[in-house]
Every structure is written in structure tokens, then in C-alpha cells.
Amino acid sequence: MSSARGPGLHGMGDVIVEVSPSVDGYVAGRGVAVERPFGDAGLRLHRWIGLDGGEPSAADRAAGERMFAGTGAIVIGRRMFDVGIGTWGDDGAFGVPVVVVTNRPAEDLVKGPTTFHFCTDGVVAAIERAREAADGRDVVVNGGADVIQQSLAAGLVDEIRLHVVPVLLGGGTRLFERPLGEQVELEQTDCVTTPLATHLTFRVAKG
């Protein structure tokens, strides 16, 4: 697995999508709500990080650690924030600045080392704000699906990391629902398979 990276070209890190879909392409089950952040999928999509009784292998743990090793800021959608904030604890879970894409203005929320900033100017502005907060490190777009789709459609994503979980949910929130407008070419750069997930990394072709 990759180690932490410093600033990339022009002093900026990459914009990376990181998400755990089912084999049939869902990132949450049916009936997502505050009391059920992943709907009827429960936490099974995150067994590879030790939730829902999962027992991660060393490769699973390395995949999880990789997300935070080079990350300076995270971008999420308001729905993900609303259903997740009650479970993330007093430290906010992420440990880096988090930019929340929303149409509802709010004051910054500080949870220990994690500060949530609310951006009402759309995904492009949110990623730009996250780049500033990341100070040359990577920006991770962590969800939900709509924010990921908008980021890809806008051509902002440099790398995609999928942790494909061996389950068929049969319904829920699809990772790729929104038309991207054009085909996106990917180069697979890594693949690690464990009993709990297949960890895939792709570079996004530009130009």
C-alpha cells in the first residue's frame, strides 16, 4: 500500500474518492435515516474496518490507514453529515477539516480535532475550500454518492479507491446513478483482495 504523500504538482495533493460499495454497486441500503445511517445494509459495508463483527486482516487495516495517511481534508454531503454526526463521537472521527456540501448555511462545528465547515456554493467550491484547508495534502471525497458523482462529472477527481464488499444489497443508494456526461477512462494501479473486501485503486485519466 502507498505511504503518505507530500504536496503534489503545484503544491497540491490529489482529490481522491474513497468509498465502500457492495458488489452490485450500492453504498447504502434502503431506508437511510438518522437512526439507520446505512439503511437496511447496517454496517456490513464496513466490516473490513472492524464494524458489524468484522475481523480485518492486515491488508484491510492497511487500506483503512492509507485513507488518513496522506489526507489533509475531507468533503462530504449534508445528508451524510446529518445521518453520521451522531455516531462519530466527541472527536468527530476524521481528525482533519471536513467540508460539508449543503444548501443550508451553518456555523462551523468543532469536534475535538475535527472541524466541520459548511459550504453552500456547490461541490466545486467545496473541493477548493478543502484544498486550501488540506495545505498541500490530499482531499478525500468520502460521500455520499451524489457528491461523489458531482465531483467526477466536474472532472475534479484524480484517483478512485473502491473497497468492494462481498454482498449483494439488491437496492438502496447507488454509487453511480448520475450521468457523468462523458466516458471516464481509468487506470487500475492497485488491487488487494481479502475475505472482507477487494480494495481497488484507479487513476483517472485527464485530458
pTM over 0.95: no
Residue 10, pLDDT score: 45
* Sequence ranges of the domains in the chain: 9-204
CATH class of 9-204: alpha beta
pLDDT digits (tens, 9 = 90+) for 97-146: 999 999 999 999 999 999 999 999 999 999 999 999 999 999 999 999 99
For residues 184 and 36, the answer to whether their CB atoms sit within 8 Å is no
What would the grid cell of residue 104 be? 443550508
Residue 104, pLDDT score: 95
Report CA Rg, the chain.
16
Please report, in angstroms and rounded to a whole number, the separation of the first and last CA atoms in the chain.
Answer: 27
The pLDDT confidence band at residue 11, using thresholds 50, 70 and 90, is: low
Residue 207, pLDDT score: 67
- What are the residues facing 17 on neighbouring strands? 141, 160
Q: Is the dihedral of CA 145, 151, 155, 157 positive or negative?
A: negative
Closest CA to 80 of 125, 39, 132: 39
pLDDT digits (tens, 9 = 90+) for 62-94: 999 998 889 999 999 999 999 999 989 999 999
Instruction: Say if residue 2's pLDDT is above 70.
Output: no
Residue 78 Rama label (left phi>0; alpha psi -120 to 50; beta): alpha
Looking at residue 108, its amino acid is D
Element (H, E) at 146: helix 145-153
CA distances to 9, 36, 137 from 42, in Å:
39, 7, 32
Instruction: Say if residue 205's pLDDT is above 60.
Output: yes
pLDDT digits (tens, 9 = 90+) for 19-67: 999 999 999 999 998 888 889 998 999 999 999 999 999 999 999 999 8
Residue 206, pLDDT score: 80
Residue 8, pLDDT score: 44
Arithmetic mean of pLDDT, 178-192:
88
pLDDT digits (tens, 9 = 90+) for 134-182: 999 999 999 999 999 999 999 999 999 999 999 999 999 999 987 777 7
